[in-house]
Amino acid sequence: MKKLSLLIAALVALTLMPDASAQYYKDLFMDGGINITSRVDLPSARYLGLSWERYYSAPHKPMSITLKDTLEQTALMVRSEIDQNGCLLYPDGAPRFRVIYVNGGKAGKHGKSLTEEGRQHIRDFVKNGGSYVGTCAGAFVASISDTRFDPTKNRCKDEDREKVRFEYFHVYPARTISTNNLTKDFVGERVTTGMKVEPGSPLLKYYDFGGDMYIDSVYHNGGCFITTDPLHFAPGTEILLRYDYDAAKDQKREDEGRFKVTNHISAWAWKESPETGRTVLCGSHPEGVVAGEQLQLFSAFVLYALDGNGTPRVKGELVNGEARVMNCDTDDNDPAHAKIGDKQYHHFTVNIPKGAKNIKIALQGGYSQDDLFLTLRKGDFAFAKEADYADVTLGAVKTMEFDTLPAGTWYIGVKCDTTVDTVQTDHGESYTGHLEVLNGVPYTLTVTWE
């Protein structure tokens, strides 16, 4: 091997770069945008030690939302000149964050404020491997539509059974049922309800909730639930929790011709395939609590979402002597040849034949000020920490040379290690510094052998 020292240098560098294998810009993005709760803090993000960002608009009260909010939300979550794909997505449509959390509030109005392009960004985010957590309105807007419950038939009302709301995200392919008359108790106090952990719930992988399978007094404000009716229960749905409302108040509801809340499904999860992200939804509000089992509950939602990220995808197979040019913008709609975003990996394979000699892998970045890493691994994805060979030195030009390699399929990884800086504003984080990475860094990758 001509460059044995390359591997040694890479191993030393990796000890100085504990996050070198990360394939996302950050862990979590919190949406507190137009017509949903303008939450500034997310206790679970701090509790779990996550890297995260947020957007929050003015409070969703009459006359509070301004043109400024619309412009800020659009520039960040939909598109701008410096970020054609919005903050949630890389130029190829892959998720830039591991999870998006959508707050409670007014589901339909928020969905409309994002426009169809913004809603499609969230669909692409989940389809391409990012996970989604939503509470109350965040659960409503994740679904196909919301419906009203008919207690005489134990299902949604007949006139709602085919309802579809265009302003919803449709990342949970079934309908939610509204508890919109469950907003205040009979004496005008805010509603809370217990949550029973479903036996075998995957949330128990993270916390035992005091060992009694129960979380007490979770705030509820007109949220939602689902039943096992196929209109509400997509194939593959996992039941996480069920409501446990005060028995006397529940009976009073039934006596008045409404429906009992207890035992209806209050939290659930769904994942379409190994390649897509996981959707985790809850009809109530544990997200603002700073301690105890409710903090653990929302943290479990986030952890289960993180564990549900989609598997990596291969851009394509490289051919001896053919340059792979990655220079397409988002609007070119060619993700197989798209530029690479900040902290993102692109993955390729190459089939090295038996007896191949003088093997050379050449990476040429299009922007000299940005740092691109090159990694190589036999038989599996070449994230830097697991790679057989890795060049994580600074700069946009990399070359690996080998006298020979074992025959078979090798995975090649390209990572853009350059990222933006952030500054705090009155609506969350704003980007400065290497803004060119938001629209992606072009590069060319070539493998040759004799």
Q: Which residues contact 187 (CB under 8 A, 6 or more apart)?
A: none
Q: Determine the 3-state secondary structure of 46 from DSSP.
A: helix
User: From CA 138, how far away is CA 281, in angstroms rounded?
Assistant: 8
Task: Give the residue carrying structure tokens 């039934």.
Answer: 254
Note the pLDDT of residue 187: 53
Q: What is the pLDDT of residue 162?
A: 86
Helices and strands per DSSP (H, E), number in the chain: 7, 25
Which CATH number does the domain 4-20+312-448 belong to among 2.60.120.380, 3.40.50.2000, 3.55.10.10, 2.120.10.30? 2.60.120.380
Q: 385: which DSSP letter?
A: G
Q: What angle do CA 133, 135, 137 make, to 5 degrees?
A: 115
Residue boundaries of the structural domains of the chain:
4-20+312-448, 26-307
**pLDDT given at position 10:** 38
Sheet holding 278-282, edge to edge: 214-220, 191-197, 238-244, 265-271, 278-282, 131-135, 97-102, 26-32, 52-56, 428-433, 420-425
Reference 417, options 7, 1, 17; nearest CA is: 17
pTM for this entry? 0.93
Instruction: Give the pair of three-digit tokens for residue 88.
Output: 């949630």
- What's the CA gap between 118 and 27, in Å, rounded? 20
Supply the pLDDT for residue 185.
Answer: 63
Q: Are 229 and 190 in contact (CB under 8 A)?
A: no
Residue 429: strand pairing partners: 424
d(CA 98, CA 238): 20
In this prediction, residue 64 carries a pLDDT of: 74
* Of residues 14, 97, 3, 90, the one with CA closest to residue 55: 97
DSSP letters spanning 285-310: B-TT--SHHHHHHHHHHHHHHHHTPP
**Are the beta carbons of 42 and 101 closer than 8 angstroms?**
yes
Q: How far does Cα 89 stand from its chain's mean position?
A: 10
Q: At 158, is the secondary structure helix, strand, or coil?
A: helix
pLDDT for the residue numbered 18: 36
**pLDDT at position 153:** 81
Q: Which pLDDT tens digits describe the chain residue by residue (450 residues)?
A: 444 333 333 333 333 333 433 789 999 999 999 999 999 999 999 999 999 999 999 887 766 778 899 999 999 999 999 999 999 999 999 999 999 999 999 999 999 999 999 999 999 999 999 999 999 999 999 999 999 888 888 788 888 888 899 999 999 999 999 987 787 665 567 899 999 999 999 999 999 999 999 999 999 999 999 999 888 999 999 999 999 999 999 998 888 888 899 999 999 999 999 999 999 999 999 999 999 999 999 999 999 999 999 999 999 999 999 999 999 999 999 999 999 999 999 999 999 999 999 999 999 999 999 999 999 999 999 999 999 999 999 999 999 999 999 999 999 999 999 999 999 999 999 999 999 999 999 999 999 999
> For 26-307, which CATH class?
alpha beta
CA–CA dist 447, 401 (Å, integer): 10
pLDDT at residue 31, rounded to an integer: 98
Mention every residue, 6+ apart, whose C-beta is less than 8 A from residue 126.
95, 132, 171, 276, 277, 279
Cβ-proximal residues to 160 (8 Å cutoff; 6+ apart), any chain: 145, 147, 148, 175
Q: State the Cα–Cα distance between residues 110 and 88, nearest whole angstrom.
A: 16
The CA-based angle 279-281-283, given to 5 degrees, is: 165
Q: Quick one: CA torsion of 431, 436, 438, 444, rounded to 10 degrees?
A: -150
Residue 420: what residue type?
Answer: V
* Centroid of chain to Cα 187: 39
Tokens 């493998």 — which residue? 447
Amino acid (1-letter code) at residue 124? D
Backbone angles phi, psi at 143, to 5 degrees: -90, -175
How many residues appear in the chain? Answer: 450
Strands 131-135 vs 97-102: parallel, antiparallel or unpaired: parallel
- Residue 44 and residue 240: Cα distance in Å, rounded? 18
Q: How far apart are the first and last CA of the chain?
A: 15
DSSP state, residue 339? P
Q: What is the CA radius of gyration of the chain?
A: 24
User: Residue 257: what pLDDT?
Assistant: 85
